[in-house]
Every structure is written in structure tokens, then in C-alpha cells.
Structure 1
């Protein structure tokens, strides 16, 4: 018996494409009842702002064979059988390996990715035309036990001021879960390690201003009830869910750009695959014009050098990274103390 299919008509720069979607009535987000067909139609509805945020750059796909309560997996290489309108670019990972990575140049490519059971789109911070030099600085505000969204909001407002003093304009979005993501457009003048150092410098400055509220401590045992400023999201081959990307939660929430004025009263649970298209029609895209006036990280790198001169050096990298120059030991502080006794 042939599997159930629907034929989607997808507009694009080269005309209309027809994409066959298998199992369209399979429920992907069980609490919301959102199907695979609805997910594909959502991407068509938000095509313009979605591509502005995630297009023309390397992107990793988070895919689920069942619904989002099952285990997913990441595709960093383009899935087999990709049609000719799905582009790719050769990138270098932190391991030094080289591989092609998918690039979205039109919304049909994202819809085809949904046909391949993609739920979350994770774009790099760099463009396909220059994958080694980021075009945005990113900071993840990650609530720790005992903290929540209101604490992340306070931290985000304060970080906006820190970055303003460094000459950068900040944009904010919900993570689609409990946290917030701050992005600042930058000129592609520096490679990932420099941008990482700029992020660390900004995080350290915010720690000095809000020591009881935020922390950049890599080890969980040192964070306490503070918002974790995840500086390691600035590394090469580290990605966050893109703006307007769904998240793998049963309620079908979406990582959604908001204005700074509405941040204080924002409810991330209200932004879903079913509600975000109407929101865009009503209020527009808060990130419109995001890339029009990119700044530089020059001042933040001065702060980094100042902190290095004052004895604050490199911070730990993720465990799958090779040992990096100047990096402190990758051992939990409590274990280090026990081994020293």
C-alpha cells in the first residue's frame, strides 16, 4: 500500500516548486497536535524572516524519526538524495575535518528538510561565502536551577548596555524554551576564536556588574542560582536554534525574535508554529534590518586583552574540542581539590 502523501506548492526565486511530503498527518508535536504537514506550511508562511536569519549560511539539521519526544539526531552533511535546489558549502570543523554542510538559499530547501524529518534548524554564525568569519556575536542566557526567565530578562537588558558601550547593537529572541538568545551583527573581520574572546570579555564585564545574577562559570557546581552566560556557543561549529526555528518540545514552541520593549512581558510559550505567522502579520519582524549596520568587536577585544593583562585568561572549551592554548585544566574543581589532597 502506497504511503500517504501531499504535494506542496512552494514559491521561490526561480518560480514555484512542487515538493512531495510523505506522512503529512504524522503528529510531530504531540501536546499541540501539530503535524508534519503543518510544520512544512509554517515554514512557507514565515519564509522571508526565516531565510533572513538562517539562509545563505551553513546549517545543521536536528531530525526526528518519530515525534519530538523521541530521540533526535543531527545531520551536519546534506542528507542523501538532496534535490539540486539544496545547496552546500565546505566547512572546517573544530577537529580540523572538512565536510560539506547544507545551505538554505530558498524556502523550498527548508521544506524539503522537513520532508527529511527536520524539526530544528541550527545556523552557523557565519555566511556560506565566508564560513570562517562570523557575521554575528551570540550570547546564550541559560537559566540555572533556582532561576528563570525573569532573571534572564534582567541579564539580557544589562548585556545590551554592555554591548552598546562596546559599539554594538543587540537583538533578542526567545530560545523557544526557558532562556534567551542575544545576537549582535558584526563585520566579518575576525575568525571564531577572536569572536569567542570578545564574548568572554562581554560576559566578564557583565559579571562585574551583576555578580549575584550572572556567571560564566563552565562547571555547574560553581554557577549557583545565577544565569549562565554560555560563551562556548561562540565557538566554531557551535550553533543555537535559529530565529523562527521550531524547537523540539511537545508544545511546538518557536525561537522567536521580540523587541526590547516587549521583552519584560514576553511569554515564550505563546510563540508556536501555529501562532507565529499571525504575529508576523500583526507586528512584523523585530529583526528586520538586522544586518544593515554591523559593528566591530574591536573594543571588546581591547577588554579581552586588558583582562588577560590582569590575570584573566582563557576559559574551558567544550569536552569534544582539542586542548587549546592557554586553556585551564578540564577537570571539575571539586575533583581537582580532592586529587590535590
Structure 2
């Protein structure tokens, strides 16, 4: 399924008919990327992206009109979501909510067609429950005065600390300003994952008090990198690998190698457009694939 640039087009994806609309709409004025180009990206990246979404209740940043219009976070299925797109009921602090599970190319394209361009997922799967986290995540977010290059240096040290605890780290440039580190783990309750991540972030702050912070207080973050450990909470989500981010430029949350992290000397070194990510996957495959399956999962210390 490769949509063209016409205003509306009906296509068949995995046996499902989708009416794609507003294909000519420019979503990113800075680059001219249109809705047709984003749908094409999601259709082509789906074979490597969907396995990292499957089974996980998705939430979205929706911006049907692109950056020029309104955007908001949505947990419930977008109006007009096809009946065949899977849904699960998830408990939240404010009650229960029905959420979409993206388990196919068709579901991914259907959500993007409804303006749900940015996908976020938790570190647990619906079938095992929100207290069975199978991924640990650390979000390295640079404050004013720092940047992605500093995040890379911190990430290299965090990798060492994780390896010392028997965990294998994988890096994903966030597509915004920072870097996400993931480690596959044997399923644990969210409070245990959060507790370990918080302690690890505290170890880093103890080593580098002038560079690392674990508090989200804005005044404390100048010239420092926040290690956000809280995304391991069962109620939290993280931008999914391979999702496009709704920023000025259409950059992607893209898995990167540790050699690339070590070589990074400018934030532009690890900034990838949808077209570049497709080229990377064609050349390197899915760098995030080791997080699938159970072979590489380790117990939290």
C-alpha cells in the first residue's frame, strides 16, 4: 500500500479497505512533508515497527491538520476508528478506558489516517497485565544548556552500569531532543521497574552531580540532563520505536547502534527523517529486534 498525493484514495491493506483522506495536506511546513508521505512511511516501516507495538495499549498525539493546527494526547480510539482494529480495556486512575492495540500494518495506517501520527506505548502487554513489565526504559532529556551529545555520553556510562547489573541496553534516539535507553527484562511489577530505574538514575547523579538530575523541577534542569525513570510506571507511556514525532521537523524515534552513540558529536548526527529511517532499516534491519522474544531477558537485580 503506497498512497499517492491525490486528495482521497481508497486502498486495500491486509484485506481491509481504507479510505485515505486529505493526502495532499502539508503536515510539516518546514519540510513540506504531506500526509501521503507519512502514510507511506508507516506502511513501509510497519514490518519492523508493529512487533514493538503489538499487544501494548497505544495512546497517540493527534494533530489531524498537522503542526499548523491543534494537537492533543488521546488514549481512547480516534472517532472513526474501524471496528476491526483491536481494543482492550485499561484501568487508569480516573477509571477504565478502551484503547487501541496496533497489531498490523492496516491498524497502523488506519490510525495515522485519522491524524494519530505519534504513537506511544507502555512497557507492558495487555494480555499479561500492567504489572508485568518486560522492558525497562530510561528517558534522557537534556535541559537548557545541554543537548543530545551530552545525553550520549551519559548513555554510555548508563550502559556500563546496566551491564554491571546483568542487563543489556539498547539506544533509541527520541526524535525530539534526547535519547531513550531500553533493556529487555523478565516480567516484573511496575513498582520494581520504577524502583530500579530511580536507583540507577540516582547512582548517575551521585557520580555526576553537576551534569545529571532526577528531578523534573525546571530550575534544577539548566545545564543538566534529566534521567526520567518515571516512565517505568504502569500508567506511563514512551514514544514508540519508529514513530514520527510531531515537532518542527518530522524526525523519528529511531534505534541506533552504540558505535553511533559513541561517535555523536552534533545532535544532527542522530537526527533521522522518515526516509532516512527506511534506508537504515533496509541496510541494517531492525536494531531493536533483540527486545522481541524472551531469549535476551534478564532479571532485575
1:44 paired residue number: 43
Q: Which residue of 2 aligns with 1:19?
A: 18
Residue 286 of structure 1 corresponds to 287
> Quick check: 1:251 aligned with 2:254?
no
Partner of 1:121: 119
The alignment partner of 2:182 has SS state of: strand
Q: What secondary structure does 2:275 align onto?
A: coil
Residue number in structure 1 paired with 2:153: 154
Counterparts of 1:162-311 in structure 2, within 5 Å, are 162-188=161-187, 190-266=188-264, 267=268, 270-291=271-292, 292-297=295-300, 299=301
Contact 1:57 1:131 in 2 (8 A): no
Contact 1:10/1:44, CA 8 A, preserved across alignment: no
Deviations 1:13-59 (A, max 9, x none): xxx43311011111111112111111111111111211122222111
Alpha-carbon displacement from aligned partner over 1:309-332 (angstroms, at most 9, x marks no partner): xxxxxxxxxxxxxxxxxxxxxxxx
Q: Which runs of 5+ in 2 are unaligned?
A: 1-5
Deviation at 1:139, TM superposition (A): 0.6
CA 1:168/1:251 → structure 2, altered by over 3 Å: closer, same or farther?
same
Conserved 8 A contact 1:253-1:268: no
| Aligned match of 1:55 | 54
2:101 aligned with 1:112, yes or no? no
Partners of 1:129 and 1:214 in 2: how far apart? 36
Compute the displacement of 1:236 (Å). 2.4
Do 2:117 and 2:246's aligned partners in 1 also have CA atoms closer than 8 Å?
yes
Q: Report if the CA contact (8 A) 1:172-1:181 is conserved.
A: yes
> C-alpha distance in 1, partners of 2:96/2:63?
25
Q: How does 1:57-136 map to 2 (within 5 A)?
A: 57-93=56-92, 95=93, 97-132=95-130, 133-136=132-135
Q: CA RMSD in A?
A: 1.8
Alpha-carbon distance change, 186 to 76 in structure 1, aligned in 2, over 3 angstroms? same
Unaligned 5+ segments in structure 1 are 300-341
- Please give the TM-score of this superposition, normalised by the length of structure 1: 0.80
Relative to structure 1, is the Cα distance of residues 275 and 269 closer, same or farther in structure 2, using a 3 angstrom cutoff?
same
Distance 2:55 2:181 in 1: 20
Q: CA offsets, 1:277-329, max 9 Å, x none? A: 112112222112223311122x1xxxxxxxxxxxxxxxxxxxxxxxxxxxxxx
Distance (whole Å) between structure 1 residues aligned to residue 152 and residue 47 of structure 2: 27
From the two aligned structures, give the one with the greater strand fraction.
Answer: 2
Return the TM-score normalized by structure 2.
0.91
Instruction: Please tell me whether Structure 1 or Structure 2 has the larger radius of gyration of its CA atoms.
Output: 1
